[in-house]
Structures are given as structure tokens and as C-alpha cells.
Amino acid sequence: MQETSATTPATPAGGAAPGTAGASGQPPVKPVITPGAAKRANASVIGMIIALALSIATFLPIVLMNASPKSDGYRPDVNVSAIAKNAADVAGFTPLAPSPGDTFRPNYARWESGTGSGVPTWEVGYITPKESFIGLVQTRQSNPTWLLQQVDNAPVTGTRNAGGRDWELRDSGKGDKSMVLVHRGTTVILSGPAQLEEFSVLAAAVVKTLDSNPAAPISPSATPSP
């Protein structure tokens, strides 16, 4: 007698046998959002947008008031001669207002009473032609401790002639350098990161101005070195 075997139908990959509801071809059920829920969701989004807009409106004026400077930089109009004339009455000497040329731009000029250091000074800052900086300090009450502070304790490395005078050169090799001159009753210190060629131009203008000003009374402590 010939045996026959029954074949079991294959089960679809979805796990449902043929003929069941899973293979009926009906589309999947989609969730339905009620009108109230949709309104609340939209209200939340609108609220976030309004809050963001209010934040921008609050900070925008602050940003505009603190806008970045223009590319050419701010150039203050400092009248060194006028400020020096006003300081002359309290200085006890004629404050320097050298003219090193239009390529040197003063960015401050002031009289310091010396409340902290005990040494009153006349100070002028210059932006050099190569966009570096040299600060001028003048006093007739110099002392060794004060002078060392002004030159950041830099040692004497030689002299440099400018304007027909030998200036004492101080340079630590790290950062700023200084040129010091005692002439006609006052001590003048030029300090900054500028190149020595620019120092020499300003120093020559200083000597020229000193020679044209009345000499200040010579102070015994006006010495460039300890």
C-alpha cells in the first residue's frame, strides 16, 4: 500500500495563519487627536514662539548698544598741548608736549598726583606708526625705587643716542623696553613694546621740547639709576 503524507500549510512571517484577521488587508489603525488636544498643542507652540520673540526683543537693544568697534579702531582726539598747559600750574615744571609727527597718535594725556607712589607724574600715551605703543612719564621727583617700578625692574643694557642725548636703555628681553633721560631738571621715561627706531623718533622730539622749555628746579633724587 502506498503511504501519503499530509502537508501543513506554511505560517506567514507575521505569525498569523492564512484566513485570520491579521491577513485581512485592512490598513493599520491611526491615532486620532481630538480638537481640544490639537488646540492645546498649537497653543504651546505659539507660546514658545512668543517667548522667544520677547527674549530677542529684550536683548537686541543691549547688543546694539555694545556693538563691535569699527575696523579702523577708535581714535580719541587728545590735545596734549592744551592738557599740558592746564597741568603746568600744579606740576612745578613744564609738562612735555612733544611733536613726533602726525604718524604718532596720542591716546591719553594726564597729570597724576602720585597719591599711591608718592611721585607726581605727567603721562602721555602714543600709538606709534606701526600700531604699537610708547608711554611717556615725566617727573622732577624721581627716586630709585619708583624708577625701577616704572621700568619693571629691567636692567640697564646700554645707551641709545636720540636728539643729541644719550638715553639709558633698559630691557629685560621679555616684554616692554624703556629709555630713560634726566635732562633740565626732570626725569623722562619712555616705555612700551614698540621698536627702538620708533622710540628714537619720540625721544628726539622729547629732547627738542625739553630744550625749548624752561628748565625745572633740579631735584637731588632725580637720578636714573639706584
Please check whether residues 30 and 135 belong to one and the same domain. Answer: no
Q: What is the CATH number of the domain that holds 184?
A: 3.30.200.100
12 belongs to a structural domain = no
Please check whether residues 60 and 85 belong to one and the same domain. Answer: no
Please check whether residues 176 and 86 belong to one and the same domain. Answer: yes
Please check whether residues 89 and 177 belong to one and the same domain. Answer: yes
Round to whole Å and give the CA distance between 180 and 192: 12
Kindly state the average pLDDT of the residues 22-41. 64
- Is the pLDDT assigned to residue 146 strictly greater than 60? yes
CB neighbourhood size of 168 (10 A)? 19
Round to whole Å and give the CA distance between 202 and 80: 14
Please check whether residues 41 and 85 belong to one and the same domain. Answer: no
pLDDT, tens digit, for every residue of 57-86?
776 666 555 544 444 555 678 999 999 999
pTM (whole model) above 0.95: no
- Is the pLDDT assigned to residue 27 strictly greater than 70? no
pLDDT at 50: 85
Phi, psi of 23 (to 5 degrees): -110, 25
Please check whether residues 204 and 111 belong to one and the same domain. Answer: yes
Please check whether residues 56 and 134 belong to one and the same domain. Answer: no
Phi, psi of 126 (to 5 degrees): -125, 135
93 belongs to a structural domain = yes
Residue 192 belongs to what domain range?
80-212
Percent of the chain with pLDDT over 90: 57
Phi, psi of 167 (to 5 degrees): -95, 145
Kindly state the average pLDDT of the residues 177-195. 97
Residue with cell 503511504: 3
Please check whether residues 174 and 100 belong to one and the same domain. Answer: yes
Round to whole Å and give the CA distance between 117 and 145: 10
Please check whether residues 55 and 90 belong to one and the same domain. Answer: no
As separate numbers, helices (DSSP H) first and strands (DSSP E) second, the chain gives: 4, 7
* Number of compact structural domains in the chain: 2
Please check whether residues 48 and 158 belong to one and the same domain. Answer: no
155 belongs to a structural domain = yes
Round to whole Å and give the CA distance between 178 and 224: 11
5 belongs to a structural domain = no
Give the 3-state secondary structure of residue 153. coil
Please check whether residues 61 and 84 belong to one and the same domain. Answer: no
Single-letter residue type at 91? A
16 belongs to a structural domain = no
Please check whether residues 161 and 56 belong to one and the same domain. Answer: no
